Amino acid sequence: MRLRVLFLLTLIPFYAVCAPLPIPEQGPALRIQGSNTIGAALGPALVKGLMEHEGLQGVHSEPAQGANEQRVVGKTRQGKAVTVEVAAHGSSTGFAALKKSTADLAASSRPIKDSELVDLETLGDLKTPEAEQVIAIDGLAIILNPLNPLDTLNTEQLAQIFNGEVSTWEQLGGIGGTIHLYARDDQSGTYDTFKELVLRLRGKPLAASAKRFESSEALSDAVSHDPQGIGFIGLPYVRQAKAVAIVDGDSQPMLPLNSLIATEDYPLSRRLFFYLPPSSRNPWAKALVDFAQSSKGQAIVAANGFIAQQVQAIGVEPRASMPEDYQAIARDAQRLTVNFRFEEGSASLDNKARQDLQRVVAYLRNHDKLDKQVTLVGFGDAKNDPQRAALLSKLRAMAVRRELVKSGVVLRDIRGFGAQMPVAANTADEGRIKNRRVEVWVY
């Protein structure tokens, strides 16, 4: 897919801290545990940004006692030190730390599991919009050695490769002999995401021969030095390796491009989360969540190699494989880098979509497009009756319209394209959820 990207950024309103945050008499102001993807660099960078916004001086990071642990330290004008502790041992460890009260905020590179929700219900419902905060979008890149000639793989092949069923590059039409597997460790949200998106959907475990890594950087470097290697990694950690295009079901081959990850069309895109327990009384935790959603916070997200949630307009090149009516929209309008999606088994917008409503309205207002300049385009998963699929896809677009109208948006048109143009396989719930989406086009 060729995209003419026109970067028309809209600012997300900054959630200003009304009063200076209290300085604890002793101990850290905030304890964050969980995802290595977030905790290695992004989390500490957001903490630094918040501290500087609070007027702290000499803000810096320093190693803590354990591996993949650090402290972010700043000083008040009176010389009192303020410390935030960040431990990055994998997403599951963040939820375990919330339960043990050894963390105030969990960082996760996957959604909270139902079992974890139940386990933490004494802290409140961690699936409410206030508790579950999407702070960035990431893409899992499938990486090869730069000398490997393959440039496209599908998700079925990935499952067979990492399960060990396909064990040589020749079986994939390549060269190089035995495939060497590189994977993150069991505590990693990156591994959880790969397992959910690729392995579990096909009932395949990871091959025992895979070399496991706690460090994203170390895994990427190992693949880039091994001509027979293949691994999966968060987008900022491709480094010197080569990323390949991915196909899921009947989707087009997609590279992990920023525009395709922002809309979550790329098959291996994922959301990065902060989870803030509703029972929390830590003002630094709430302030960091709000800062992460602000324009300043999202600029830090982008600077750290992840995909910020600022709304951009992109020109989409019409293709013959697109429905003719969709091609007509693409010729005359630009697509916003937002896909509205819905809660599982529900017509309600999910938590990210609720945040994105504010961002889209701000974009439309800033660009004078509130009055009949917007077309909503709905899609869905395959049904036995194509007319039913088309109707359901239009009803999803109408659900988004109802929310936009509340903010004064007057729509130009609403279209439903049913199960056409899938971005994921319809063979599992996760794929069907991704295909049930609403695009926003502006004229």
Contact 133, 272 (CB under 8 A): no
Closest by alpha carbon to 234, among 266, 210, 207, 208? 266
Q: How confident is the model at residue 426 (pLDDT cuts 50, 70, 90)?
A: confident
Contact 169, 157 (CB under 8 A): no
pLDDT score at 11: 39
Q: How confident is the model at residue 9 (pLDDT cuts 50, 70, 90)?
A: very low
User: What pLDDT digit, counting tens, does each position of 125-153 carry?
Assistant: 999 999 999 999 998 999 999 999 999 99
Report angle CA 269, 274, 275 to the nearest 5 degrees: 120
Q: Which sign, positive or negative, has the C-alpha torsion 129, 132, 138, 143?
A: negative
Residues ≥6 apart with Cβ < 8 Å to 121: none
Contact 378, 397 (CB under 8 A): yes
User: What pLDDT digit, counting tens, does each position of 296-330 carry?
Assistant: 999 999 999 899 999 999 999 999 999 999 999 99
pLDDT score at 6: 36
User: What pLDDT digit, counting tens, does each position of 333-366 carry?
Assistant: 999 999 999 887 677 899 999 999 999 999 999 9
Contact 192, 94 (CB under 8 A): no
pLDDT score at 230: 98
Helices (H), 164-282: 189-194, 216-224, 258-262
Mean pLDDT for 388-402 is 93
pLDDT score at 14: 45
pLDDT score at 348: 86
Q: How confident is the model at residue 1 (pLDDT cuts 50, 70, 90)?
A: very low
The mean pLDDT value of the chain amounts to 92
pLDDT score at 187: 85
- The encoded tokens of residue 206 equal 């990871």
Domains detected in the chain: 11-135+272-303 (3.40.190.10), 138-259 (3.40.190.10), 311-442 (3.30.1330.60)
Torsion of CA 11, 15, 21, 27, to 10 degrees: -70
Contact 216, 191 (CB under 8 A): no
Mean pLDDT for 239-265 is 93
Q: How confident is the model at residue 45 (pLDDT cuts 50, 70, 90)?
A: very high
Q: How confident is the model at residue 428 (pLDDT cuts 50, 70, 90)?
A: low
pLDDT score at 12: 44
Mean pLDDT for 34-44 is 94
- The encoded tokens of residue 78 equal 């009176």
Contact 338, 440 (CB under 8 A): yes
pLDDT score at 5: 36
Closest by alpha carbon to 14, among 435, 298, 409, 380? 298
- The encoded tokens of residue 84 equal 């935030």
Q: How confident is the model at residue 3 (pLDDT cuts 50, 70, 90)?
A: very low
- The encoded tokens of residue 327 equal 């091609």
DSSP label at 199? I
41-50, 192-201, 406-415, 425-434: the lowest-pLDDT one: 425-434
Beta bridge partners of 212: 183
User: What pLDDT digit, counting tens, does each position of 402-417 carry?
Assistant: 999 999 999 999 999 9
Distance CA(437)–CA(404), nearest Å, equals 16
Provide DSSP, 282-350.
-HHHHHHHHHHHSHHHHHHHHHTTSB-----EEEE---TTS-HHHHHHHHH-EEEEEEE-B-TTSSSB-
pLDDT score at 386: 84
- The encoded tokens of residue 164 equal 């060990």
DSSP label at 264? T
Beta bridge partners of 211: 182
Mean pLDDT for 229-240 is 94
pLDDT score at 7: 34
Residues ≥6 apart with Cβ < 8 Å to 200: none
User: What pLDDT digit, counting tens, does each position of 87-100 carry?
Assistant: 999 999 999 999 99
First to last CA, the chain: 21
User: What pLDDT digit, counting tens, does each position of 284-296 carry?
Assistant: 999 999 999 999 9
Distance CA(232)–CA(268), nearest Å, equals 10
CA 370 to chain CA centroid, nearest Å: 28
